[in-house]
Structure 1
Amino acid sequence: MSTKMGVKSDAMVSGDHFGETDSDTADQLLTSLGYKPELLRTRSTFQVAFMSFVLASVPYGLATTLYYPLVCGGPVDIIWGWVAVSLIIVCVAASLGEITSVYPTAGGVYYQAFMLAPMSYRRLAAWVCGWLYVVGNITITLSVNFATALFLVASVNVFQAAAGEDVLAGSAYQVFLIFLGVTLICNLTFAIFWTFVGIIAILITVLVVARHGRNNASYVFGHFEVNSGWRPGWSFFVGLLHAAYATSSTGMILSMCEEVRAPATQVPKAMVLTILFNLAAGLVTLIPLVFVIDDIQYLISLAQPVPAIIKSAVGSSGGAFWPAHPSTRARSHLRYWLHHRYITLHLWFLPRRRHSRMVIQIALGLIYFGSSAAFNAFSGVGVIALTAAYSAPIFVSMLEGRKTVTTGSFYLGKLGWFCNIVSVSWTLLVIPLFSMPTTVPVVDPSLVNYAPVVFVGFTLISLGWYLAWGRKHYIGPPT
């Protein structure tokens, strides 16, 4: 069945099937895959790539998590960690692109895992993949909004009181109220260009003013300084959470399959192109900041070091107020994190409306009152779950010898095997890696990484619900 559909998709996306347009053939293909076309196909490859790039808001994601590579390896971890992870994600994007050229639906990895898996366990494969995708997006969206709240607290505190005290104490109730405001704003506004123009302006100012001078190139690209307590090699890897978090929206591009004219060819190309855009944007953000870092020991004592870096460089509290807007990154997840039309798991907690999803985020945010460390685990869990969800159809495709992807219009041949192996290996590394505490020894409960506890908890809920209900009633997506 999979092979037949793959052949059909390859022929139909050629654009000359009975003289019909790309949009017509794409709609026919979608119908053959079990879905009714409902969206207008108006986007080009570049539009999809640019929109995905903007929604991912990589500069913002890197700014709010700079603490991790700063404490785990310094400049080398910040710059080369970002480059390394970006190249790995290119392999993930290329691997998913191959599969998407065969199954170009907005159901993405959930639908692909179901179609590629053997009949005997395809329902379980789709169930697990769907759970990973939903949980990953819930936790990532939550962490984005809370990171924004913490970042705003740090930005406000560049304006210190007369006695040198912070303007905001950053108590639990203050952070939660700011988080509440951020969550509401993310559902109401969309300030993409304001965010990016502001970021570029600040980074140029940082390099030009550089009140304490600039570090030399050998420091920026070659200085390695471990302050995490881990051995140097492992410490470098632990710091990669920074880059992995910023690239966690990679698979969201698949949700645009029904908005482009020839999704079997356009979406795979757009996925790879987006990662290259992200790589460049990340370097443009990180390199200026590393050039003006002047006191790593002080910066790692802060949860959000970027406002302090900018203030030190420009010598002005007002100039250090970062204008990043969370809606750019969070809204991508809010829009694509759950397509109930596709992920029909019939789980009790799956919301059907945007406002319901917002209520879930706010409810989960209450965890911060109990333990900030437990909440911080959500960023790690989000990365682990999404990375695993992205690799699920890739792994299943490898098990079948990549037979189905050979029928697609984005088949990469032997290079595809390489990309698949890198993608799955990255997932196997991510699961234990981001379950580790950032620093050791762990002498305080606030330093504990609760990511494995949260991840195992969601896994048990998923398996329990499958055994209790899904095994008899869940039938998977339409085919």
Structure 2
Amino acid sequence: MRSEYSKKMPSSGGEEIGELSRKELDDANLARMGKRPVLKRNFGLMSMLGFSCTILITWEGIVVLFLQAYQNGGPAGAVYGFLFVWAGVAATFVVLAELASMAPTSGGQYHWTSMLAPRSCMKLMSYLTGWLTVIGWQATYATSCYLVGTLIQGLIVLTNSTYEPKNWHGTLLFWAIVLFCVAINSVGGKLLPRFEGMILILHILGFFAILIPLTYMADHGSSKEVFTQFLNLGEFPSQGLSFFVGIVGCIYAFAGGDAAVHMSEEITNAAIAVPTSIMLSVLINGSLGFGMLIAMLFCSGDLGSALESPTGYPFMAIFKQATGSTAGTAVMGSIITTMGATTSVGMLASTSRQFWSFSRDRGIPGWRLWSQVTEHSAVPLYSVLATSVISCLLALINIGSAVAFNDLCSMAISGLYLSYMVVGGLLLWRRCTGGISSVRSSDSAIVNTAGAKLVWGPFHLPGIWGILINTWALVYMTIAVFFSFWPPSWVVTVQTMNFSVVGTMGTIILSLFYYYVRARNVYSGPIMEHTL
């Protein structure tokens, strides 16, 4: 098959024909994993890099969430906690990149579990991993829309002191962001890739638009305070425990590393482009995020008054202390809010593609409807709408209790990281037992799916380095999941209690119940839609 397509490649010129051949090769590789190509490959490397980078938006997340690390860990804890998380995330992304290079499908984690797990438990492990990914992405998307809605409320309070924010206002703004995301995602064609490429530019320029005035105009703290002062405002029994509780904010700032994976069937040269975009995104976002964190810590000013900011977001008070201008603060805050809104567009795309793929393999109730793809736009529109309706329903929780909704958002970490742990552990087992071949099989063979031969993709860390990085990734992910369930203070009240463990375990129990009642009769792992 490869030789047949290679004959179509022009010896010189013919760029359009060459591009067509690359898409055909991607479809042929997808067929080797038993999947029929139904989505259009409109993304290239740069647009997918923009997609990956703007899903993470680490520097923006650090601005919004850095006080979580500050309160539990202090300035020094925030610095060293970020470096710890960055190193762990980089190792985790290496694991995801290796798997995405082996099997670039929209299913991601549940497909990888099915191809790596022992045959005796493949079906159940794949099913549970699929549901962990579903709840992780649903929570991530809902969190993004919620934060944007409350950021808009904060900007209104900043510019209009007579405004009294209500929880239901945030819910209405949440719904407005969802409608915006649905509008962009429903069009299809090249709109989404071009949109993501444009947002990458804003992501980079916005960093400097905030960093330069903040560092130039604000009063600076001392290096000793930033790099040596540890705090334990949560009153935990030890500083070490406080430090690990505080890193959860940094972990969330890197959430969504598998976003590009779920777009694999919409990008050309997926086996190389997806891993490349994943690794470049952690490099770019980690660098920008660390720079912004240092700037915020040096320029934080009077944090006592910032914590009491009526906007609900201390960073707005820090910006105002630095610039002395409400208008300037509003502009800086608007950049972060805009990035949050545009990030939600990409999150809806990834969430709906994973939902669609899992439905395609009959893992979700109502799979016949959710697995449909509209012909004119080649978009899984029903999955886009289902994901959006779920998020809008979740937003109703905020009207009754903002605390309960925030706990729901913590499931973004636990759900996604648990799915990473499953595939990371299986990959380590396979690489240590020699279960993955480095030799490319014939182009007519089914590979890298349930029951088929396992073959490394173009992105692969061989030997001891692959084992060490895979092991470190598992250690980091275990720490991240464990502390994502902790409350922010040792003395727990209704307001500070973290109920995310209830939501995560509850979803797992319900999915198991559905599995034994019905899903085990219809779900058997990735379905062979195409045979060679």
TM-based fold match above 0.5 = yes
Whether the 8 Å contact between 2:88 and 2:477 is mirrored in structure 1 is: no
Q: Given residue 171 of structure 1, which amino acid in structure 2 is its aligned partner?
A: K
- 1:294, CA displacement in angstroms? 1.6
Q: 1:234 to 1:402 in 2, by over 3 A?
A: farther
> What displacement does 1:276 show?
0.3
How many aligned positions are there? 460
Contact 2:127 2:363 in 1 (8 A): no
**Matching residue of 1:104:** 104
Q: Does 1:348 align with 2:356?
A: no
Could you tell me which amino acid in structure 2 is paired with residue 208 of structure 1? Y
* 2:316 counterpart letter in structure 1: P
Q: Which residue of 2 aligns with 1:3?
A: none
Kindly state the Cα deviation for residue 437 of structure 1 after the two structures are TM-superposed.
0.5
| Residue pair 1:111, 1:126 contacting (<8 A) in 2 also | yes
What SS class does the counterpart of residue 524 from structure 2 fall into?
coil
Q: What is aligned with 1:119? A: 119
Deviates more, 1:116-125 or 1:53-62: 53-62
- Please list, as runs of the form range in 1=range in 2, the aligned pairs for 1:22-421 lying within 5 A after superposition: 22-41=22-41, 43-159=43-159, 161=161, 167-188=162-183, 192=199, 193=201, 197-210=205-218, 213-230=219-236, 231-301=238-308, 303-321=312-330, 322-323=333-334, 324=336, 325=338, 326-339=340-353, 340-344=355-359, 345-348=362-365, 352-400=382-430, 401=433, 403-404=435-436, 406=438, 407-408=455-456, 409-413=458-462, 414-421=464-471
C-alpha change, 1:359 and 1:101, in structure 2 (3 Å) is closer
Displacement after TM superposition at 1:37 (Å): 2.3
Query: How big is the shift at 1:198?
Result: 4.3
Distance in 1 separating the partners of 2:182 and 2:436: 39
Distance of 1:366 and 1:402 partners within structure 2 = 50
Q: For 1:126 and 1:17, how far apart are their aligned partners in 2? A: 35
Task: Give the superposition deviation at 1:47.
Answer: 4.2
1:469 Cα deviation from its structure 2 partner = 0.9
Tell whether the 8 Å contact from 1:15 to 1:22 is kept in structure 2 after alignment. no
Whether the aligned pair in 1 keeps the contact of 2:234 and 2:490 (CA below 8 Å) is: yes
Identity of matched residues, % = 23
Change (3 A) 1:92 1:19: farther
Contiguous gaps of at least 5 residues in structure 2: 10-20, 185-194, 371-381, 439-454
In the TM superposition, what is the alpha-carbon distance from 1:170 to its structure 2 partner? 2.8
Once residues 63 and 405 of structure 1 are traced to their aligned partners in structure 2, the CA distance between those partners, rounded to angstroms, is: 44
Q: Tell me the equivalent position of 1:427.
A: 477
> For 1:31-62, what per-residue CA distance to the aligned partner results, in whole angstroms no more than 9, with x for missing partners?
11111223454655454323311233223322
Paired AA for residue 265 in structure 1:
I
Taking the aligned partners of 2:422 and 2:395, their CA distance within structure 1 comes to: 29
User: Which secondary structure does the structure 2 equivalent of 1:187 belong to?
Assistant: helix
Structure 1 pair 100/181, CA: closer, same or farther in 2 (3 Å)? closer
> 1:258 and 1:160 mapped to 2: Cα distance?
46
Q: Is the 8 A contact 2:351 2:387 kept in 1?
A: no
Deviation at residue 328 of structure 1 after TM alignment: 2.5
Query: What is the rounded CA distance, in whole Å, between the counterparts of 2:86 and 2:437 in structure 1?
Result: 24
- Out of 19-28 and 112-121, give the one that drifted further: 19-28
Cα deviation, 1:121-143, whole Å, max 9, x if unaligned, reads 11112111110111011111111
CA distance in 2 between partners of 1:180 and 1:97 (Å): 33
State the shift of 1:433 in Å.
0.6
Q: Cα RMSD between the aligned structures?
A: 2.6
Instruction: Mark the CA change 1:16 to 1:239 in structure 2 (over 3 Å): closer, same or farther.
Output: farther
SS at match of 1:338: helix
Q: Is the 8 Å Cα contact of residues 111 and 126 (structure 2) preserved in structure 1?
A: yes
Between the aligned partners of 1:125 and 1:424, the Cα distance in structure 2 is 17
Matches of 1:402 and 1:292, distance apart in 2: 52
- Partner AA of 1:280 in structure 2: S
Distance 1:18 1:420 in 2: 39
Answer yes or no: is the 8 Å Cα contact 1:89–1:247 preserved in 2: yes
Letter in 1 for 2:174: F
Letter in 2 for 1:327: A
Q: Do the aligned residues in 2 keep the contact of 1:23 with 1:262 (CA within 8 Å)?
A: yes
Alpha carbons 2:60, 2:289 under 8 Å: kept: no
Q: Distance in 2 between matches of 1:155 and 1:341?
A: 36
1:36 aligned counterpart, secondary structure: coil
Cα distance change of structure 1 residues 404 and 249 upon mapping to structure 2, 3 Å threshold:
same
**Equivalent residue for 2:444?**
none
Counterpart of 2:228, as a letter, is G
1:267 deviates by 2.1
- Deviation readout 1:142-176 (Å, 9 max, x if unpaired): 11111222223333333463xxxxx4333322322
1:455 aligns with 2:504: yes
SS at match of 2:425: helix
CA contact (8 A) 2:299 2:322 kept: yes
Residues 194 and 415 (structure 1 numbering): CA distance in 2 closer, same or farther, change over 3 Å?
closer
Is the alpha carbon distance of 1:256 and 1:174 closer, same or farther for their aligned partners in structure 2, counting shifts above 3 Å? closer
Query: 1:391, 1:427 within 8 Å by CA — same for their partners in 2?
Result: yes
- Pair 1:85–1:405, CA change in 2 (3 A): farther
Q: Distance in 1 between matches of 2:248 and 2:295?
A: 21
1:180-225, Cα deviation, whole Å (9 max, x unpaired): 3333333346683556544532321111111xx1113333333322
Q: Judge which range, 264-273 or 129-138, deviates more.
A: 264-273
Residue identity matched to 1:393: V
Q: Show CA shifts across 1:441-465 (max 9, x none).
A: 12x3111111111111111111111
- The 3 A distance-change label for structure 1 pair 338 and 51 is closer
Alpha-carbon distance in 2 for matches of 1:61, 1:245: 8
3-state secondary structure, aligned to 2:259: helix
Task: After superposition, give the CA deviation of every residue in 1:51-110 in whole Å (9 maximum; x if it has no partner).
Answer: 311233223322332231121122223333222212211111111222222212222112
Q: CA deviation at 1:438?
A: 0.6
- Whichever residue aligns with residue 304 of structure 2, its letter is Q
The 1:51–1:367 alpha-carbon spacing in structure 2 relative to 1, beyond 3 Å, is closer
> Which residue in 2 is equivalent to 1:4?
none
The AA in structure 2 aligned to 1:424 is L
Partners of 1:241 and 1:380 within 8 A in 2: no
- 1:69 and 1:236 in contact (8 A); partners too: yes
Q: Which runs of 5+ in 1 are unaligned?
A: 1-7, 162-166
Q: Structure 1, residues 278-300: CA drift from partner, whole Å, max 9, x if none?
A: 11121232222222112233434
| Structure 2 counterpart of 1:317, one-letter code | T
One-letter amino acid matched to 1:274: S
User: In terms of mean alpha carbon deviation, does 102-111 or 271-280 score higher?
Assistant: 102-111
C-alpha contact 2:51 2:260 (8 A) present in aligned 1: no
Kindly provide the amino acid, as one letter, of the partner of residue 263 in structure 1: A
Q: 1:299-319: CA deviations, max 9, x gaps?
A: 345552111110111111221
Q: Aligned in 2, Cα 1:186/1:77: closer, same or farther, shift over 3 Å?
A: farther
